[in-house]
């Protein structure tokens, strides 16, 4: 049974997992980490691993999510296995569908933190109904790309400050993308400011995930002193899917079989753990990785430098409109 499951997961894009958090996570003493979507799934598993396996855990972990009750529930659950978690994790209200909420969250971090060593852009949505964010962007694009792009830009001064004060000069931004980016057509920058109701949800999702990769490549060029990477976590059992996904799961393989093939979050988070705190000489800025640390898996469009720069310029102009 397990060998059959391994075959399926391999077909779904998962390579051999060799990263062992219990022996590979280094000391994070004195460092500050921020994780979006840290209340469940991959984000929660990442926080738990950082606290449980580091010889010296971070001084602070900002757990960013839009729902304070879910944040508090996650902290309670993590603390049950790692008692010191309650003294390290700091709740941060962040709704990526609202650029005003992003501004408010960034303002708080800038006010209360002297440093930011690692930022993991983990939150995301998939299979959402047709709609737009509070700022008028297609919902996948607005949350998965624009919200994170705004947060990154607003916190960039703190990231750059950390480079100056950090002895090892190893500040990182890690964006959780998806192998699904391969299904993206060439991005239509006019359409992403509509609900894109004529596009299938998978296409809308894929465009936002392509944007995650392109954005990290752009930042890697703009800020060579910061390590910026993107990654595919594998096909993981999380609550990322929206209301429309359930009816499509059943079309070919059945919901039970689909769930059986999925990787658990504690395994699915290995690639982002490696990218966030793995050996600096192994993690290359601007790269896109499949699990764990496998590069060269991006689509042709991820290698289009013209598209990288177009996304950067378009995003910067959009953020200016919103005072960011």
Report the catalytic residues: 205
Block residue for tokens 């391994």: 6
**Rounded CA separation 146/40 (Å):** 21
Q: What are the tokens at 251?
A: 């079309």
**Rounded CA separation 217/119 (Å):** 16
List CB contacts of 309: < 8 A, sequence separation 6 or more.
218
**Rounded CA separation 243/59 (Å):** 37
DSSP conformational letter for 138? B
**Rounded CA separation 58/23 (Å):** 16
Residues forming beta bridges with residue 236, ordered by sequence position: 263
Which of helix, strand or coil describes residue 104? helix
Q: How many residues does the chain have?
A: 324
Span between the terminal Cα atoms of the chain, in Å? 52
């Amino acid at each position: 049974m397990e060998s059959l499951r391994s075959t399926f997961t391999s077909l779904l894009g998962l390579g051999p997992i060799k990263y062992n958090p219990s022996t590979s996570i280094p000391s994070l003493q004195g460092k500050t980490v921020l994780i979006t979507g840290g209340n469940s799934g991959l984000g929660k598993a990442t926080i738990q691993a950082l606290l449980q396996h580091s010889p010296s855990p971070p001084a602070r972990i900002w757990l960013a999510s839009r729902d304070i009750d879910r944040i508090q529930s996650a902290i309670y659950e993590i603390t049950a296995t790692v008692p010191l978690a309650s003294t390290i994790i700091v709740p941060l209200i962040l709704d990526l569908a609202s650029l005003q909420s992003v501004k408010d969250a960034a303002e708080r971090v800038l006010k209360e933190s002297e440093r930011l060593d690692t930022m993991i852009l983990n939150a995301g949505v998939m299979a959402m109904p047709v709609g737009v964010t509070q700022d008028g962007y297609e919902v996948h694009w607005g949350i998965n790309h624009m919200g994170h792009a705004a947060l990154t830009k607003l916190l960039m001064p703190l990231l750059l400050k950390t480079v100056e004060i950090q002895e090892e000069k190893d500040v990182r931004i890690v964006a959780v993308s998806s192998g699904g980016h391969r299904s993206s057509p060439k991005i239509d920058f006019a359409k992403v400011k509509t609900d894109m109701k004529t596009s299938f949800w998978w296409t809308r999702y894929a465009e936002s995930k392509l944007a995650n990769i392109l954005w990290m490549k752009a930042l890697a060029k703009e800020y060579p002193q910061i390590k910026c990477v993107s990654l595919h976590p594998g096909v993981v059992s999380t609550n990322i899917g929206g209301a429309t996904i359930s009816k499509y799961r059943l079309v070919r393989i059945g919901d039970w079989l689909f769930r059986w093939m999925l990787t658990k979050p504690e395994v699915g988070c290995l690639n982002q753990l490696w990218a966030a705190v793995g050996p600096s000489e192994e993690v290359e800025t601007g790269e896109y990785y499949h699990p764990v640390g496998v590069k060269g898996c991006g689509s042709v469009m991820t290698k289009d430098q013209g598209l990288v720069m177009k996304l950067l310029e378009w995003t910067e102009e959009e953020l200016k409109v919103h005072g960011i």
